[in-house]
Amino acid sequence: MQIVISGTGLYTPKEGISNLELVTSFNEYVRQFNDARQNDIASGKMEPLQESSVEFIEKASGIKHRYVMNKEGILDPKLMRPNLTERPNEQMSLQCEMAFFAAKQAMQEANKTGNDIDFVIVACSNMQRPYPAIAIELQQALQIDGYAYDLNVACSSATFGIQTAVNAIKAGSAKAVLIVNPEICSGHLNFRDRNSHFIFGDAGTAIVVEAADTATADCQYEIVDCKLKTLFSSNVRNNGGFLSRCTPESRDNADKLFVQDGKKVFKEVTPLVANLILEHLEKNHIKPNDLTRLWLHQANSNMNRLIGTKLLGHEPSTEEAPIILDEYANTSSAGSVIAFHKTCKDLAKGSIGILCSFGAGYSAGNIILKKIF
């Protein structure tokens, strides 16, 4: 059975923060923090906090800018978190609203209405609440009859969602599936942590997956094959959860937000991903040089350069491996889908590419795609 991606959508928050704005606010926080503790610092009782730098961020990650759901709270040195108003239950939740805009665009591209979809997956790193599922709220907002659930495999949520959609269609439990990745990464990023305050941004993406015989979209990619891998690691971790209130003394510790050993992640995940893609291509009798485009996860441009070079035997051009993290930063599961959404239309019929995600878990997912329309 031939299964295709027949539409994608993107929600980009209205507000953006440049590295300079982020670093200026962080360094003001550092100044105020150190000033308030100058005696302890002078006596050697504690180390002063170090400033962040635009040059470091751009060199180490390639990130220059990010979009966020609330800029003013993040840049306020006294707050350093998004300032978001809690909504009443009667109102659509923030995460559902993001998902809704991306989903509408993907459905429009795929020439689908709510009547045509029968399975909704909200696949992303963090849900704004445990239940009811954001996916079921979205299902209702889009007037979809069928079933819906949330799925979280951190940065790899979108590719794991695609595999789930393919399985459901092949098994006959769904005809057309909507996968949505509303990532409010700023909600669980520690903007007071110099090592990670620059890493993430917010965005939402959506994908329609259906059987080729029902697809009518102008642009369609056959899902040739999917390969998923997980390997437990605490090198990217967030310990926040419903048990946090049971130990109030540590409830607000830094580990209740995103923490990582970035160097270890870089060193361990880069070869894991390159080998996963090579094995996957070999299984499908595809040579790496047959690939026209690599839509890689958007965490770090140096990481993508290394993975691309290992695959292609030369440093990939931005045409071969598009980069959107310079503008969006790491948007977790949405990253590779944003890259795909922005650069999938211009390929010739018959072109082959990969949509690849990797991140916390560790988790990695590779989807081989072939443009058929």
Torsion (CA) 323, 363, 360, 9 in degrees, nearest 10 = 50
User: Is 301 an interacting residue with respect to ligand CO8 (CB under 6 A)?
Assistant: no
User: Is 153 an interacting residue with respect to ligand CO8 (CB under 6 A)?
Assistant: no
Minimum distance from residue 115 beta carbon to ligand CO8 (Å):
34
User: What is the Cα–Cα distance from 133 to 122, expressed in whole angstroms?
Assistant: 8
Minimum distance from residue 105 beta carbon to ligand CO8 (Å):
23
User: Is 263 an interacting residue with respect to ligand CO8 (CB under 6 A)?
Assistant: yes
Among 236, 325, 368, 369, binds ligand CO8 (CB under 6 A): 236
User: What is the Cα–Cα distance from 128 to 116, expressed in whole angstroms?
Assistant: 27
Torsion (CA) 116, 355, 328, 96 in degrees, nearest 10 = 30
In Å, what is the CA distance from 177 to each residue of 80, 122, 211, 263, 371? 37, 11, 10, 37, 19
Q: CA angle at residue 185 from 180 to 189, to 5 degrees?
A: 165
Residue among 119, 178, 122 at smallest CA distance from 150: 122
Minimum distance from residue 128 beta carbon to ligand CO8 (Å):
13
Range in contact with ligand CO8 (rule: CB under 6 A) among 137-145, 191-199, 246-254, 347-355: 191-199
What pairs with residue 237 in β-bridges?
259
Catalytic-residue membership of 246 = no
Residue nearer to ligand CO8 on the CB measure, 146 or 240: 240
User: What is the Cα–Cα distance from 269 to 275, expressed in whole angstroms?
Assistant: 10
Range in contact with ligand CO8 (rule: CB under 6 A) among 28-36, 102-110, 138-146, 182-190: 182-190
Range in contact with ligand CO8 (rule: CB under 6 A) among 55-63, 72-80, 242-250, 341-349: 55-63
| Residue of 96, 124, 155, 219 marked active site | 155
Q: Within the chain, where are the H helices?
A: 19-36, 38-42, 54-61, 71-75, 94-109, 134-141, 157-171, 262-283, 301-312, 325-328, 334-343
User: Is 330 an interacting residue with respect to ligand CO8 (CB under 6 A)?
Assistant: yes
**Residue 177 near residue 184, CB atoms below 8 Å:** no
Residue nearer to ligand CO8 on the CB measure, 160 or 198: 198
User: Is 332 an interacting residue with respect to ligand CO8 (CB under 6 A)?
Assistant: yes
Among 31, 65, 175, 188, binds ligand CO8 (CB under 6 A): 188
Q: Which residues bind ligand CO8 (CB under 6 A)?
A: 52-53, 56-57, 60-61, 125, 154-155, 185, 188-189, 194-195, 198, 200, 236, 258, 260, 262-263, 265-266, 299-300, 303, 330, 332, 359-360
Q: Which residues are catalytic, by number?
A: 155
